[in-house]
Amino acid sequence: MRLKNILIAGCVAIIFGVSINAVQDAPTDENQQKKIVNDYNIYALPMPENLEFAGEPVPVEIPDVHERMDRELLVNTYWQSSTFLLLKRANKYFPVIEPILAEHGVPDDFKYLAVIESGLTNAVSPAGARGFWQIMESTGKELGLEINSNVDERYNLEKSTHAAAEYLKKSKERFGDWTLTAAAYNAGNYGVDRQRERQDVNDYYDLLLGEETGRYVFRILALKEIMENPKKYGFNFREKDLYEQVPSYKVEIDTAVSDFARFAKNFGINYKVLKIHNPWLREAHLDNSSRKKYLIELPEE
């Protein structure tokens, strides 16, 4: 007990001493204190002019549309660490996504849909959606992706982007505009159709939707605006600060692979590096009894 009291007394003395020193070290000049306070400022953001998504104008003159857009601009500008990571990852992954969207005739703005779906990572949702495009298993199989215990092509950025583009094109045929198509990627085609019929309107900005889908397009718009104009929103970086694709090549296999760790060593890399380049390989082996042809990506030396 005596030792305990001594330790407590010592801790109090240390804390008290630190407090005294902190007070002594604090600026005593009132003007200096004001300068410290005034050096840190948070600013309201002006509403960007001529906002549009996939060539379709955003009616920010409507009060609730203006407020919802303002909210997402503020959230994504002042959540700096998250948005900075998106800027860094975009430099690495947009060059893969952009030409595939263009090949399918899907507007380039839909790359920002992948940004808000997954943060440009191979995310897994509580509902089981996976990959950059957050595709459910049943939907992925309908779109031609291979999904089983060995292989899950929702984690293959190129193939999943092709699949997502096909899905988006079909939705566009159904809704007639790209903004509703984007909203339906979140709420489902049936969900958006049901609300259009119930509310007797055809424009996303006229629909009253649940919070997630109600914010969905505005989150896309906000990140598009910020990521296309990063310095305007206070994000400063050099080109070398951004993430880059590691140069790679592909080898074709049409047999089973019993051990990918050993397979990797044959190409001068380890299992970790192999999986980084091929996250769609879900096991440490590949059965491939059908002798299907697969392309394995490997980093250049």
104 closest CA partner among 153, 189, 159, 162: 162
DSSP readout, the chain?
-HHHHHHHHHHHHHHHHHHHHHHHHS---HHHHHHHHHT------PPPSS-EETTEEP-TTSHHHHHHHHHHHHHHHH-HHHHHHHHHHHHHHHHHHHHHHHHTT--GGGHHHHHHHHSSS--B-TTS-BTTTTB-HHHHHHTT--BSSSBBGGG-HHHHHHHHHHHHHHHHHHHSSHHHHHHHHHH-HHHHHHHHHHHT---GGG----HHHHHHHHHHHHHHHHHHSTGGGT----GGGS--PPPEEEEEE-S-BS-HHHHHHTTT--HHHHHHH-TTB-SSSB--TT---EEEEEE--
Q: What is the pLDDT of residues 247-270, one digit of tens each?
A: 999 999 999 999 999 999 999 999
First-residue to last-residue Cα distance in the chain? 65
Mean pLDDT of the chain: 90
Mean pLDDT check: name the lowest of 7-16, 134-143, 152-161, 210-219: 7-16
Kindly report the pTM of this predicted structure.
Answer: 0.85
Task: State yes or no: pLDDT of 208 exceeds 80.
Answer: yes
Task: State yes or no: pLDDT of 222 exceeds 80.
Answer: yes
- Please give the distance of CA 264 from its chain centroid, rounded to a whole number: 29
Task: State yes or no: pLDDT of 191 exceeds 50.
Answer: yes
Q: What is the pLDDT of residue 88?
A: 98
| Conformation bin of residue 288: beta by default, left when phi > 0, alpha when psi is -120 to 50 | left
pLDDT over 70 percentage in the chain: 87
Task: State yes or no: pLDDT of 21 exceeds 70.
Answer: no
Q: What is the pLDDT of residue 10?
A: 47
Q: What is the pLDDT of residue 1?
A: 46
Q: What is the pLDDT of residues 47-87, one digit of tens each?
A: 999 999 999 999 999 999 999 999 999 999 999 999 999 99
126-134 mean pLDDT: 96
Q: What is the pLDDT of residue 301?
A: 80
Q: What is the pLDDT of residue 66?
A: 97
Task: State yes or no: pLDDT of 38 exceeds 80.
Answer: no
Q: What is the pLDDT of residue 41?
A: 82
Task: State yes or no: pLDDT of 123 exceeds 60.
Answer: yes
How does residue 42 score in pLDDT terms, banded at 50, 70 and 90?
confident
Task: State yes or no: pLDDT of 245 exceeds 80.
Answer: yes
